[in-house]
Structure 1
Amino acid sequence: MRTITDLTGADPARVRALAHAFVKANDIDMLRLCELHARDDRPALRQLAHRIKGAAQMTGDAQLSRLCSVLSEACAAPISHALSLDAIVEQLGDALLEFGASCQRMAKEDKSP
C-alpha cells in the first residue's frame, strides 16, 4: 500500500494539500457513518468501512484500519448483535475524530527551513 509520502514525493506542500483533502473526506465520512448506522444499512456501512480503511492505510493509522475491518466483518455477518454494532460504530467514530485531528495537524505543519 502506498503511503502519503509515496504519493506526494515527500513534498511538504503536497503533503499538506493531501492532508486537507483527508480532513474534508473525514468530515463527510463521519456524517455518513452516523447516517448509515441510524438506517442500519449494513451493506453501505461495509462499503464505507472499506473506503475509510484505504485512507487509514495510506496514513499508517493501524487502529483506524483495524476498526474498519471489524466493522466490515460485523456488517457481513448474517446475525450481528445491534449492541455490538453500536459499540463498533462508536469506536470507529472516536478513531475518525483522532484521524481528523491528525490530518489537521499534518495540513498545518510548516516544514520550511
Structure 2
Amino acid sequence: MNNVTLLNKVKELDFKTLTSREESIRVMTQIAIIRKAFGVRDYESDAPAENYEREIVLTDDQIKEEFNGYMQFKETFEKYGDIGNAKYYESRLHYFIEAVEFFKPELASELKETLAKRKDM
C-alpha cells in the first residue's frame, strides 16, 4: 500500500473529532488494526509521509487471529448474558472488517463470511 495513502488514513483517524461512544469504538478499533497491520509508529503521524510502497507486517492468519479474539469475547459475553459487552464486541467486529477493507478487501470479505456463519450457529 502506498505509504502516503496509509498515513493519511492514520492521521484522519488520529485527529478525528469523536462525538459519541460509538464513534470512539469505531476509531479505536480501526486505528488499532491499521497501525498494527503496517507497523505504523506514533511518531509517523507527526512528520510528512514519504512516498513508497509499505508492506503489511501481519499475515492474513494473524489478522484473522485478532478478529477471532474479538469474536470469542463477544460469544463469551453472550453466553453469560452480558448483552452490553456482547454488543460492544459486535460493533468492534464490524469496524474491524471496515478497517481491513481499506487495505485488504478480499480478506475483509472472508471475515464477513466468517461473521455471518458464526451468527447462524
Q: TM-score range by the shorter chain?
A: 0.3 to 0.5
The TM-score normalised by the length of structure 1 is 0.40
Of structures 1 and 2, the one with the larger relative CO (CA 8 A, separation 6+) is 1
The structure whose residues are more often helix, as a share, is 1
TM-score by length of 2: 0.38
